[in-house]
Each structure stands twice: as structure tokens, then as C-alpha cells.
Amino acid sequence: MRKDTKDAFLKSIYNDFHHLQDPENNLRFPSYDFVKSKILNLDENLFSIEKLGRSVEKREIYGVKFGNGPIKIMAWTQMHGDEPTATRAVIDFFYFIQNNRNKYKEVIDFIESTCSLLIIPMVNPDGAAHHTRENAWDIDLNRDALRLTAPESQILKKVFDNFQPKYSLNMHNQSKYYGCEDTLKHVELSFLATAPDKNRTLTLSRKRAISLINMIINEINSLENNEIPIGKYDDKFEPRAFGDNFQAKDSGLVLIESGFVPGDENEEKLRKLNFLSLLISCLFTNEISYSEEDLLNYNKLSSISEFYFDLIIRKATLNIGNDNFIADIGIKREMVWQGNSKYYYFGFISELGDLSTSKGFVEIDATDCIIKPVNTYGKSISDIEDVQKLNFKDLHKKGIGNIKLETLSLNRESTSLPVNILPLYDDWSPEKLSPATFLIQKIDTDETKYIVVNGVSFPVTL
């Protein structure tokens, strides 16, 4: 298939993705049972499904094969249990292959005849079930490539050794707080052609990985009009990591890290970008031929580091004891897992001081403003339905950020409401600024400009 034909198909798939993705694949954190059911219900005339082994807690781990071509590609997702975006992408990929053999027959037939693809969705099912990076023994699987203590690590190593892929895709999520060091933009995707040794030798397999990364980025940039902030991880050798070890075994290993898209709570764009990265790998690996230009372009990718906050309030005046001082306030919102794909966020002040080298997804200039505690609603309310009927803009004008609920049994729980919901017996002191809830008032007039509730800012208009 010619490159221009591939590009045309890729553009069509990109534009039509909403209709090509699995409609049941709608949770940001798909459960193990959901992923397992999707695998076991694949058409065995198209896919080969193999039970590879079991996790610490005896959950089955599966491998899915598609194609019989000469180029072997192995991909795996969620070896860190709380990093699910690529798992959703491979479910969409399976759905695309199985349900679009009419409209996209030429593309699917090409992949089938060119590639032998092996995908392991959810390498760490116990971590996924408990929403932890580590497995059930608290082992980071990506630091277990040498000792192979965990059964999940043993499975991954055995499958790799038996399959011997020419290319490997190690698919992860990274912290939302990473940014591109050159542009200071947030990062939506990061890549790395891992080092095979401490000297970071540019082996043939690593050159292949660099070429594939450039191919993926070029195609995505073409589809996204060069608007995707893309970064590159530091390539310091990590001898305990699977990526570095597999690179040393002559597999062109590409690390793909999903970052953050502001406003995309369910990570739908990242899901799509992961799907495209996998699809591009299948379509274009037969064209890869390393050149010095590949290395130049790869080295031009921005390095990344962690310098973002969810909210930065700049040059605010704070009062502690009898002292006033001016500082920037950096707030982060930490996910609190509740189970069954449910979670909420807890806002907290991560850093105070000079944050001039940091950025916020939201920033407020608090020059000539002082931080004051919020007020609590004057009476308790019997149930959450009554809270939802309140006029929150009026509450914010009165500086109210807390409401006590008679029926709340938990110590504190976040909701989507723009107030903190507290139980009657809660002894939380707003002066502690934890959770990150306070008023931003003009010093000279006491006018409230913003109210911050659980790390989210709301403008107050009088």
C-alpha cells in the first residue's frame, strides 16, 4: 500500500473515530471484568486469544494476536495499574478490526498481511482493580525486569522471549503535571526510545525505535495541525525496567506516555491519540529506514519536567499569626479512589513561595489581594438534594464554601458541587487551608474576587 493511500485512510479514520470506537468503552478506568469480557468476546476467526497466566490475586492475563505478516509488533498496557488510557485504546483497536472490515477492508487486510501483532491488555490487573501503580505485592512491575519476582513480570518476559518482536510498544500514563521545557506547554504525549545500556548506545534496534517515533509524531502532527504538545523522556538507563532490557534484546522499543489535556476529564483525546499511535505503528513499520535526520528530529523533541499545578495564585498576601507575607500558592488536586471506577478529587496546597518557574492550568493574579477563610452555611441541611437546589453564586458572594450535611457519614467527600460538603461532626478548620478552600479578597475594600473550593477557583461577581 502506497504512503499516500495510507495517509488518506488514516485521515478518514481520524475524522470518523467517534463512530469507529467501541461504544461500550466509555469509562476512564475500565474494570478488569470489562476488559476480560471484551477479549473473550473477540471473533476467534480474526484474533487468536491465549491465556498467558495469572496475577498475584489469580486474575487471568490474556494475549491477543492479530495478523500473520513478517513484522512482529508486541504492545502491552497498564503494567502500572492506575494507568488505563492505552487499555481503552487497544479495546477500540480490537473493535475497529472486528467491525470495520467492509469500509476499511484494505487497511485491515494490509495490517493482517504485513504485521504479526501481539497485545497484552492490562498486564497488572490487580493494580487496576485496586487503582495502584504497583501489583498486589506492592511491586512496581517496571522495576522487576531483572529479578522477575512478580508473576506478572514473569509472564511479560516469557511472552517477549517467545515472540521476539521487532518492535515493542510500552504504553503508560504520566503525571498530568509534566510540561515541555522549551515551550512551557502541558504535555499530551511523550515518547522515548529507551537506552539499551548505561552508555545509551545507538543500537540498530534503538534506531528503529527512533524512526518509528518520528513516523508516529509526523502522522499525528499532520492530523492535528501540529497542535499536539509532545515531549521526550530522559533516556538515562534504568537496568530494572522492561523497556531498557527489551531494547537491549534487539527489539525497537518505544515508550508511549499519555499526558494531560485540560478539560478532558475522561481522557477521550488521549484515548484517540493512543489508538492512532498503535494504528500508525501497524501501517508504517514496513516503511521505516533510519536516517540521520530521524535522530536530529528526535533530539529536537522537548524534554519534559514536572512544573505544572492545577491552580496557581500569584502574589497573594497571606496572614499567619501576626505576620503578613506575599507568596505564590500552588494547588494540586489528587485523585481519591473509591472503587468500581469511581473517584473524586482532593485539592491541597502543594507549594508556597516563588513559583515563577512553574505554570498553572489556571492562574490568578492576586496582587493587592489577601487570602481569607471561607464561611460555613448557617444551618445544616438534611440531604444532598436540598444542597443542589441552592443558588451557589449567591453563596459565593457571601463567602460560603462549606455546607454541613446531616446524612453524610464520611469525614469529608468531594462532589461536583462548588462547595465542600462536610458532616455535622467535622472539626475541620478553614484556617488550615486544607482542603484548598479559601477566599481571595481585595485588601483595601474586602471585596471577594474569587472563592477557591477544593482547589477549584470560581470568580465572584457582586
Q: For position 84, which CATH number holds? A: 3.40.630.10
H/E stretch holding 90: helix 85-99
Higher pLDDT, 22 or 408: 22
Q: What is the pLDDT of residue 417?
A: 87
Q: Which of 238, 268, 351, 413 is catalytic?
A: 238
pLDDT digits (tens, 9 = 90+) for 361-376: 999 999 999 999 999 9
Pair 323, 256 in one domain: no
Alpha helices in 267-399 (DSSP H): 268-284, 292-300, 384-388, 392-397
Rounded CA separation 212/170 (Å): 13
Pair 334, 418 in one domain: yes
Q: What is the mean pLDDT of residues 61-87?
A: 99
Contact by Cβ (8 Å): 302, 354: no
242 pLDDT exceeds 70?
yes
Q: What are phi and psi of 251, to 5 degrees?
A: -105, 125
Pair 331, 424 in one domain: yes
Domain boundary pick from 289, 306, 323: 306
Pair 195, 325 in one domain: no
| 181 assigned to active site | no
Rounded CA separation 234/7 (Å): 31
Pair 323, 293 in one domain: no
Q: For position 370, which CATH number holds? A: 2.30.40.10
Pair 300, 315 in one domain: no
Pair 297, 372 in one domain: no
Confidence of residue 405 (pLDDT cuts 50, 70, 90): confident
Domain boundary pick from 291, 306, 321: 306
Question: Cell numbers 474569587 label which residue?
Answer: 450
Q: What is the mean pLDDT of residues 50-70?
A: 99
Q: What percent of the chain is modeled with pLDDT above 90?
A: 86
Contact by Cβ (8 Å): 439, 450: yes
Domain boundary pick from 257, 272, 306: 306
408 pLDDT exceeds 80?
no
Q: What is the mean pLDDT of residues 220-236?
A: 95
Pair 18, 129 in one domain: yes
Pair 161, 278 in one domain: yes
Pair 242, 221 in one domain: yes
Q: What is the mean pLDDT of residues 57-66?
A: 99
Q: What is the pLDDT of residue 427?
A: 57
pLDDT digits (tens, 9 = 90+) for 441-452: 999 999 999 999
Pair 266, 348 in one domain: no
14 pLDDT exceeds 90?
yes
Q: What is the pLDDT of residue 341?
A: 79
Read off the C-alpha cell for 303.
524534554
Amino acid at 143: R
Q: What is the mean pLDDT of residues 46-56?
A: 99
pLDDT digits (tens, 9 = 90+) for 167-205: 999 999 999 999 999 999 999 999 999 999 999 999 999
Pair 199, 186 in one domain: yes
Q: What is the pLDDT of residue 412?
A: 47
Residues contacting residue 8 through CB under 8 Å, at least 6 positions apart: none
C-alpha to C-alpha distances, 267 to 28, 75, 88, 310, 332, nearest whole angstrom: 7, 20, 10, 16, 18
Q: What is the mean pLDDT of residues 208-214?
A: 98
Q: Which domain holds residue 380?
A: 309-459
383 pLDDT exceeds 90?
no
Q: What is the mean pLDDT of residues 273-298?
A: 96
Confidence of residue 411 (pLDDT cuts 50, 70, 90): very low
Burial class (CB in 10 A: 0-12, 13-18, 19+), 296: exposed
83 pLDDT exceeds 50?
yes
Q: Mean pLDDT over all residues of the chain?
A: 94
Question: Cell numbers 511523550 label which residue?
Answer: 190
Contact by Cβ (8 Å): 90, 39: no
Higher pLDDT, 331 or 404: 331
pLDDT digits (tens, 9 = 90+) for 118-170: 999 999 999 999 999 999 999 999 999 999 999 999 999 999 999 999 999 99
Rounded CA separation 13/10 (Å): 5
Q: What is the pLDDT of residue 433?
A: 45
Q: What is the pLDDT of residue 19?
A: 96
Burial 15-49 (b: 16+ CB within 10 A, else e): eebeebbbeebeebbbbbebbbebbeebeeebbee
Q: What is the mean pLDDT of residues 201-226?
A: 97
Higher pLDDT, 320 or 49: 49
| Total structural domains within the chain | 2
